[in-house]
A and B are shown apart, each in its own frame.
Chain A
């Protein structure tokens, strides 16, 4: 039982970080209907900026600067590339983002080189003990931040003009323009926000219990795919739920892999995808995603 609790709490704590990453996907998807493969490199960019700056200006200033830097990179990607891609299909745009990701990741990993960069965070390797269970302090903060951001975006999408403009643009840019929406600004801001979110996620991804930022960090973004889909690609609540489900599944399956040896060892990595398949069979738009209204 104690083991189960320990694993569960750990799963939730990892899930919080996945949720933060997934939230970035969701924001871009909601605002532009593009599946954003560039998110991984935005993550790397944000993390790199924080790691590079913290010895110079201190952790918090570095985080602020890292968020700004990643937002800038996101905005630049939109301004220089996506804005200029006049393609009909969002699928094609998704592939453009793959290309952009290759470009950015190559350059960033070249810069990071062979280092493992610490972020210099104030939490260190402190853990919180709750009865028999321990959980890293960083993860508690991550969960709180994820929940706060997710609520904030939920409200923003529903109630602010920015959110309405963003969703309108995603559906039909021309008509949105006829409503007076400045398209350029809307998608620029979406990408900047996604960049900023990536930097926040990167900050939590690269602190304890992981050793720091290195060239492999971006791979973690993959975990956020099943998380985002599970919850529903256009739902911020879904990002949280999906992240937690993925985190918990992965942790439990890893923790019990000796008991589950018949499934093959290392099932922890494949398990979230299996859960995702099951959920999609039951709900093709994810747990909280909106169904495509179809009528003729």
Chain B
């Protein structure tokens, strides 16, 4: 049979799509203003973090409300390692991710042992204890003030507004420069997670989620895997933290609170549990929606002027956000990514089975 199989067509299509997306991503800083770049960078950081928590919660079935803690560990470690210990910034970033992983590892006695709602709320402890440390360990964290974040310096390029840089007539400030770093990190993080999910560890993780005992009997060291995934997801959190710190240029403890963790859960649910694409789509949705609603608050219908007693723009934004979470779960089981999937691949697969099934004898 020489005609291209459906999967081959799909693969070419997907490759083309990837190239197109990449080209668009490179072009963005030349056209969009800072607000959009920053929004995009927040979304990229969120996507990296969401991929991490999706490995844990989506693929392995371990609920975590403590993801924000690992973002904080990543962000603060980067600052501490580069400012206080004087590590070169790229090295500090790598080390920060490792520190986040190690702190996830320290939690493994809990992470390897608890499940479901219990683990979820146990991880809440990370948030509260973490905030306590961030506020009190002033020499390292700078206390409530936080600390300024040294800009990343990679191969002589500084990711900051100075020294000035103009590319193709467009002034390249820190946001424009960080944009490319963000794209690279996100692409790398996504590719890695995809590899993990599709490979041997991914199968083990899914089986632990679906049937823990069976996983053990099939040779998967369950507790070690649970802890391992927790570490991996913490490292993703740490990387997201480093990126968000670079965008903020100052780390402050308030940011890394429980609401951030809840946002991450909303991301993977809205996007679709267990997949990389789901995490990315969900992260974009959750982190962009409030910013867009705030920005265009003046144009929203049914919204009153601030102070006039009606629904204010921010309230409207909040209500829309809540409604979106509810609506996606109610009407799009499998999330946004699941919707795309359902429109595409799965249907054809079902049909193929249905067609081949009635004639089992002809299978050779």
Contact = CB atoms under 8 A, between A and B. Distances in A.
A270 B129 CA distance: 5
A100 B326 contact: yes
B125 interface: yes
A98 interface: yes
Given A103-B319, A274-B125, A87 B333 contact: yes
A273 B269 contact: no
Interface stretch (B109-117, B159-167, B223-231): B109-117
B137 interface: yes
A273 B322 contact: no
A280 B124 contact: no
B129 A102 contact: no
Contacts of A98: 262, 265-266, 325
Nearest to A275: B125
A280 B118 contact: yes
Contacts of B217: 296
Interface in A85-104: 85-96, 98-103
Chain A contact residues: helix, strand, loop or mixed: helix
Interface residues of A, number: 51
A191 to B, nearest CB: 15
Interface string A285-296: 110010010101
A106 B322 contact: yes
Interface in A228-282: 228-229, 233, 264-267, 269-270, 273-274, 276-277, 280-281
A263 B24 CA distance: 51
Given A229-B121, A266-B135, A267-B132, A95 B266 contact: yes
A102 B118 contact: no
A99 B133 contact: no
B41 interface: no
Interface of B: 57, 61, 63, 109-110, 113-118, 120-122, 124-125, 128-129, 131-133, 135-137, 212-214, 217, 258, 262, 265-266, 269, 273, 311-312, 315, 318-319, 321-326, 329-330, 333
**What 8 A-B pairs come out closest when comparing CB atoms?**
A99-B325, A264-B136, A102-B322, A273-B125, A103-B322, A270-B132, A99-B326, A95-B269
22 contacts: A84-B330, A86-B333, A88-B333, A89-B273, A91-B57, A96-B330, A98-B266, A99-B321, A99-B326, A100-B326, A101-B322, A106-B318, A106-B322, A229-B117, A264-B133, A265-B136, A266-B135, A273-B124, A276-B125, A277-B122, A294-B213, A296-B217
